[in-house]
Amino acid sequence: MITKSLAPDELPGQAGSLLKRGFRLALVAGHDDGDRLRAVYLFTAAGPDRRVELHVLLDRDTPRLPSLAGLSFAAGRFEREMHDLFGIVPTDHPLPQRLVRHFRWPQGWYPMLADAGDPPEFGDLDGPYPFRTVEGPGVYEIPVGPVHAGMIGPGHFRFSVVGETILNLKARLWFIHRGLEKLFQGRTPEGGVELAERVSGDTSVGHTLAYCLAVEDAHRWSVPQDAQRIRAILLELERLYNHITDIGALCNDVAYSVLNAHSQRVRERLLRLNDTVTGHRLLRGAIHPGGARIIGLPDRHELAVIGADIAEIVELALSNTVVADRFTGTAPLGRDQAADLGTLGVVARASGLGIDARHDHPFLSAEFPRTVHTRTDGDVLSRFLVRAEEIVTSIAMISSLTDMLGGRTAATSATTGSGGCGVGIVEGWRGTIVHRVELNGDGRLGRVKIVDPSFFNWPALPLALADTIVPDFPLANKSFNLSYAGNDL
Amino acid sequence: MSALGVIGGVVQPVLIVAGSPLLVGLMRQVRARLEGRAGAGVGQPWRDLRKLLRKERIAPRGTSEVFRFAPLVLVATTLVVAVVVPFVATESALDPVADLFAVVALLALGAVALALAGLDTGTAFGGMGASREMTILALVEPTLLVAIFALSVRVGSTNLGAIVSSTLHDPARVISPVSLLAAVALIVVIVAETGRIPVDNPSTHLELTMVHEAMVLEHAGPDLALVELASAMRLSVFLGLLANLFVPWGIATEATPLALLIGVLALVVKVGVLGGLLAAGEVFVAKLRLFRVPELLAGSFLLALLAVAASFFLA
């Protein structure tokens, strides 16, 4: 990893040249170093794995940065996040509204500063929320949420509609800021695991692994390959149970509920398999900084049966002409749109971008072939098929990793040495998860920054929905299946 | 007004009110079992209704009498249809009302009342549901009229009792092209009108895809119970109408206890079987994209039109 310290006015030039050379902005984190503030920009590139960090030192009283929003869409959102949490002002930002800070928190209170104290009482609304108004004959608005009829996270969606066609959609999120990154501070690296497991309940392994990789990178520990193989197996097991849930839910949203019933049955089988592997249905407790420990390796015969079951469900779904019609061409996200927004994971791959941290930033020494995706039109069908195809690869990966392990179920590295900073990059089932950890001199956690792929993917949803009809929204939303919890830390 | 008509007019509404929630329960149970789920049991809709009826009456701020009376109008119109249409007995208590046009108008009146209530709430969902429901209704009602009209041509009367009696006396008519075309058109129309898959999904919780459910989203407690009961009754009424127009056997033609008992049993069995088949069929279809629904309904209208044409040419 290359680290550079910069003055604020050098930032746009450096960032611009990195982005031109094919780097992507993976993470931006604010830091409170006591006498001054610091902004850290992490750029990553694939083939070979390269990581560059830019550190910008800022004056504590007037922390100002030149905005990178013109260079990268994601940078603009990171800057707004940093502004809300640290009070670091991006100058010339095109959309300087608050992003993550709750609307009833007062102006000028920045929760991530060391002297912020307890959250203040909720006050009056800080002005009306700036929804874009769409006007014209027959245009009306549909407000939905933040409390929904189904069991999902809180999000408010404002549709501007003419007839049934969506003209504009604004997704207003950020209702459940938990202060998670601050909770990490002062814990031991081992004590951070239980938090990392709960960043987003359905991505326990993804976030824990990214966190542990970051801690190990900070300590410069070299983790045995057996431990990495166990971790890779757990990561794929998590992908399996989440992908089949999504496949079932997509069928349910077009009222083909018999396939949802079967997907739920398969999911339950996978959760029980998880239980035999780690002793926890959601795969918690197996990964720790420096290593991994499981109870037993997954049963290959069981996995083969599950794979055949899933293949049949997918086949049945797509052979139903109405289901195929509902999926095909619905809510398309073009390749250029996906690239411009910096989308990740399933969403990016369904739009034809070959982003996959398992190959771009591998933590395993063994190479596995990339999944070949047959349809990359960016519509609901593409996202459905990407999931179905990844399930096949995941099962094959688990089988060969199980062979490599040859029955060994635990491995740990020597855990000595003091701190520094490190980065962990993992392809969770939704997409690329990045954690960045800075350790204090006493070996405790100083600052942990978490970036869930949903942070990058949420802005893609309204874009894909332009000119889609309202009744297709739940289907399109489910095909993205973005995390509320991972997004709003 | 004959004795048979009066007895039929008493037995039919009682049977339909008591049996409709059970029909809905049966259909849900059939579906659950076919999907490999345990299901909540046939009695669940009645338990839901009991729960809703015990709750307090509540109406959203700013709504008018339109909102409050809509459930009553819906139930009342469906009850009148349950009294007059020949379900258990061929003769009707109110013979002039047992007319094709009167019955279709009554059913449409209930649907319109509910759509107005949806608009009255002033919420986006009420308006959206009402607009979708009206779109579907506007396509469904002509088909309904034309399909039954095709059956009435050869009888020379639009009285439903007369149509049923004539089929009873001349069974060969059931397998005529007119009947078959009209039957297919009617089945599609009934699926659309009662909000079943592939037109609407009665079990969805996704507020943006709903049609019927979006319209009644603001109703609660006893009002919701009435709406749910009326929806179940409409389903029974439509299935009963379908059964007796094409397979009228078993219906009571004289006012003896045995004939009436057979009439009741025949109706229960026919409607139960039709409901079961409809539920089983739903397992294998997905919901159409909203803008494809008019195509489906236009197809059914064409079939109904062909049935009318055939009834003149093949008479």
Q: Where are the domains of chain A?
A: 1-129, 183-480
Kindly list the residues from chain B whose CB atom is less than 8 angstroms away from the CB atom of residue A249: none
Min Cα–Cα distance to chain B from A425, Å = 35
User: Which residue bears the tokens 């929804």?
Assistant: A131
| Average pLDDT of the segment spanning B128-140 | 90
Question: Is A455's pLDDT higher than 90?
Answer: yes
A451 has a pLDDT exceeding 90:
yes
Looking at the predicted structure, is the pLDDT value of residue B1 above 70? Answer: no
Instruction: Among A141, A255, A325, select the one facing B201 at the smallest CB separation.
Output: A255
Look up residue A433 and give its amino acid. I
pLDDT at site A140? 86
H or E element in which residue A402 lies? helix A380-405
Using alpha carbons, select from A193, A392, A409, A219 the residue that is nearest to residue A285. Answer: A193
> What mean pLDDT comes out for the span B292-313?
91
Q: Per-residue pLDDT tens for A293-344?
A: 999 999 999 999 999 999 999 999 999 999 999 999 999 999 999 999 999 9
Residues A374-406 as b/e (b if ≥16 CB within 10 A, e otherwise) read ebbbbbbbbbbbbbbbbbebbbbbbbebbeebe
Interchain pair B35, A257: CB under 8 A: yes
pLDDT (average), residues B229-233: 95
Counting residues of chain A whose pLDDT is more than 90, the rounded percentage is 62
Task: Say yes or no to pLDDT of B267 above 70.
Answer: yes
- Judge whether residue A440 has pLDDT over 90: no
Please report the pLDDT score of residue A192 as a whole number.
92
User: Residue B22: which residues within 8 A CB-CB, separation 6 or more?
Assistant: B42, B43, B45, B46
Least confident of A78-82, A121-125, B86-90: A121-125
pLDDT in tens, B33-52: 999 899 999 999 999 999 99
Task: Kindly state whether A324 is in contact with chain B, defined as any CB-CB distance less than 8 angstroms.
Answer: no
Chain A residue with minimal CA distance to B37? A261
A97 lies within 8 A of chain B by CB: no
Q: How far is A157 from chain B (nearest CA, A)?
A: 11
Q: What average pLDDT does the segment B86-109 reach?
A: 88
Residue with more model confidence, A425 or B291: A425
Please, which pLDDT band fits residue A99 given cuts at 50, 70 and 90? confident
Using a CB-CB cut-off of 8 Å, the residues of chain A touching B122 are: none
User: Where does the pLDDT of residue B315 fall: very low under 50, low under 70, confident under 90, or very high at 90 and above?
Assistant: low
**CB within 8 Å: A322 and B288:** yes
CA distance A144 to chain B (A): 8
Topology (CATH) of A1-129: Beta Polymerase; domain 2 (3.30.460)
Cβ of A142 and B125 within 8 Å?
yes
A181 is in an annotated binding site: yes
Cβ separation B287–A265 shorter than 8 A: no
**How far is Cα A149 from Cα B269, in angstroms, rounded to an integer?**
36
CB contact (8 A) between residue A322 and residue B209: no
| Cα separations in angstroms, A386 against A373, A485, B155 | 6, 23, 59
Does the CB of B127 have a partner CB in chain A at under 8 Å?
A: yes
- Find, in chain A, the residue whose alpha carbon is nearest to that of B289: A326
Closest-CA distance, A271 to chain B, in angstroms, reads 19
CATH of segment(s) A183-480: 1.10.645.10
Inter-chain residue contact B289 with A473, CB threshold 8 Å: no
Taking the CA of residue A373 as centre, how many other CA atoms within 13 Å lie in the half-sphere pointing to its CB? 25
Residues with Cβ within 8 Å of residue A173, at least 6 apart in sequence: A154, A155, A156, A458, A484, A487, A488
Range B85-123 burial, b when 16+ CB lie within 10 A, else e: bbbbbbbbbebebbbbebbbebbbbbbbbbbbbbbbbeb
For residues A196 and A207, is the Cβ–Cβ distance under 8 A?
A: yes
Record the pTM: 0.91
Contacts of A469 in chain B (CB under 8 A): 289-291
A54, A23 contact by CB (below 8 A): no
Confidence at residue A369, expressed as pLDDT on a 0 to 100 scale = 87
SS3 label, residue A32? strand
Residue B279's pLDDT band (cuts 50, 70, 90): very high
List the alpha helices (DSSP H) in B85-220.
100-120, 124-153, 160-169, 177-193, 212-215
Confidence of residue B175 (pLDDT cuts 50, 70, 90): confident
CA distance A315 to chain B (A): 14
In B, residues 133-152, which contact A (CB 8 Å cutoff)? Answer: none
**Which of the residue ranges A1-15, A385-399, B279-293 has the most confident prediction, judged by mean pLDDT?**
A385-399
B:47-106 residues touching chain A, CB 8 A cutoff: none
Mean pLDDT on A33-42: 91
Residue A450 annotated in ligand binding: yes
Q: What residues pair up with A5 in beta bridges, in sequence order?
A: A55
What value does the mean pLDDT take over residues A456-484?
A: 91
pLDDT digits (tens, 9 = 90+) for A339-376: 999 999 999 999 999 899 999 999 988 788 888 999 99
- pLDDT for A151 equals 74
Two tokens at A183? 């909770």
Question: A471 vs B289: CB contact, 8 Å cut-off?
Answer: yes
- Which pLDDT does position A146 carry in this prediction? 87
How far apart are the CA of A354 and the nearest CA of chain B, in angstroms?
A: 31
Predicted pLDDT at A272:
96
ipTM over cut 0.85: yes
Q: Tell me the two tokens of residue B105.
A: 């108008």
Could you say which residues from 149 to 168 on chain A have a Cβ atom under 8 Å away from some Cβ of chain B? 149-150, 164
Residues of chain B with C-beta less than 8 angstroms from the C-beta of A256: 285-287
Q: How far apart are CA A238 and CA A357, in angstroms?
A: 16
Taking residues A450-456, report their average pLDDT: 94
Residues of B in contact with A143 (CB under 8 A): 124
Decide: B82 and B107 in contact? Cβ < 8 Å.
no
Cβ <8 Å between A473 and B125 = no
